[in-house]
Amino acid sequence: MTDIHSRTLRNSYTPPCRETSKQVPETTYQSEEISTQLITDFCVVLTAKDFNPEKYAAFSRILCRIYLKQGSPVPLMESYISVLTKGACHSEDNGMFLCRDYDQRNAFLSGSIKDVVSQFGMETIVLYTALMLKKRIVVYHPRLEALQEFTRTLPAFAWHRQDWSIVHPYVDLNQDEIEALKNCPGYVAGFNEPDIGNRSDLFDVFVNLAESSITVSQSAKEALSLGKLHKDIGQLIVHLVEDPDVSDSQVIKDICGKSREILTILNSFSDGSSDRDKPTINLDLLKQKRLPPATEHFLFHLAAAEHMLQT
């Protein structure tokens, strides 16, 4: 865990962009048993590098109970240091808190990708394409809980990266937060203010979750133009979701498999002349294949997103 500043959310989390993801679980209690009568309310805020909202929500509840009972920050820090150094701490009410009980993979798989596809059908391919190309996705819904559940699910469409640092489940339309968001190259950001729909400068794809609609901004239409490749992927995704015997994790696995197939195709356009860890795409080879325009645009922008373009 690390000291990263954040606006707190009640009983929720807020991961930032790039290398760090943070959850900010906060639980507020009305003080009744605390020794000092000067304290009427308190809250505990946790920040962390890893994305695991359930783990930190559980830990924050333990810390709140400790403070509620003892009225001192000292035992809170003792428990915090114990978790930081040993991965565990004692809880009088709940026995032992163990970090190993909260697997990172389970946090990634907590959302339902099948619910997303069931809601948007073939339009889901727009979300898949935008995530593969590291585009800016803005999601609107008036309920914070809906934003949190939906936004945390979307990175699973690009499972090969396993990057949940792109998720910003709750952003306000104030200058500081908007400027911080603009510094992120690609993101999934949630807003509960309807005016966000008019801020096309903040998104390549706008998802009105309340109305089940997806809009591509004018500036992103070329990069997100769809062709037969996208149609085939979209049909695969929808077909998987329609099968009641296929689990969410299996849907993610099959989508990831398709993504890796595409990356293998992209790698075939490397001329092998680069000494970098990742192959470098030769654009002349790509153009010589005379692929459909939508496919060529997609592969070009995917190469850029994967840092595979020659510079």
pLDDT, tens digit (0-9, with 9 covering 90-100), for 196-214: 999 999 999 999 999 999 9
Query: Percent of the chain scored above 90 by pLDDT?
Result: 66
| pLDDT at residue 95 greater than cutoff 80 | no
Q: Which two tokens stand for residue 75?
A: 């035992």
If pLDDT is split at 50, 70 and 90, which confidence band does 180 have?
A: very high
Residue 248 in domain: no
- In the three-class reduction of DSSP (H, G, I as helix; E, B as strand; rest coil), residue 90 is classed as strand
Q: Is 56 within the bounds of a domain?
A: yes
Average pLDDT over residues 176-185: 95
Residue 211 backbone phi and psi in degrees, to 5: -110, 5
Residue 4 has pLDDT above 50, yes or no: no
Q: Which residue has the higher pLDDT, 92 or 173?
A: 173
94 SS3 class: coil
Q: What is the distance between the alpha carbons of residues 263 and 204, in angstroms, rounded to a whole number?
A: 23
More confident residue, 47 or 275: 47
Q: Is the pLDDT of residue 305 over 60?
A: yes
Residue 220 lies in a domain: no
| pLDDT score of 53 more than 50 | yes
What are the tokens at 169?
Answer: 């489940």
The pLDDT of residue 287? 84
Instruction: Read off the amino acid at residue 68.
Output: L
- Residue 92 falls inside a structural domain: yes
Does residue 144 fall inside a structural domain?
Answer: no
Q: Letter for the amino acid at 56?
A: Y
**Residues 39, 36: Cα–Cα separation, whole Å:** 6
Tokens of 183: 């510094």
Would you state the pLDDT for residue 289? 83
Whether 159 is covered by a domain: the verdict is: no
Domain of 39 in residue numbering reads as 28-105
User: Number of structural domains, the chain?
Assistant: 1
Whole-angstrom distance between the N-terminal and C-terminal Cα of the chain?
37
Helix (H, G, I), strand (E, B) or coil at 285: helix
Mean of pLDDT values over 219-228: 93
Bridge-partner residues for 208, per DSSP? 140, 213
Strand, coil or helix: 282: coil
**C-beta separation of 128 from 255 below 8 A:** yes
- 42 in any annotated domain: yes
**Bigger pLDDT: 286 or 133?**
133
Residue 24 three-state SS? coil
Q: In angstroms, rounded to a whole number, what is the distance separating the alpha carbons of residues 117 and 156?
A: 12
Assess if residue 67 is contained within a domain.
yes
If we measure between CA atoms, which residue out of 179, 225, 245 comes closest to residue 17? 179
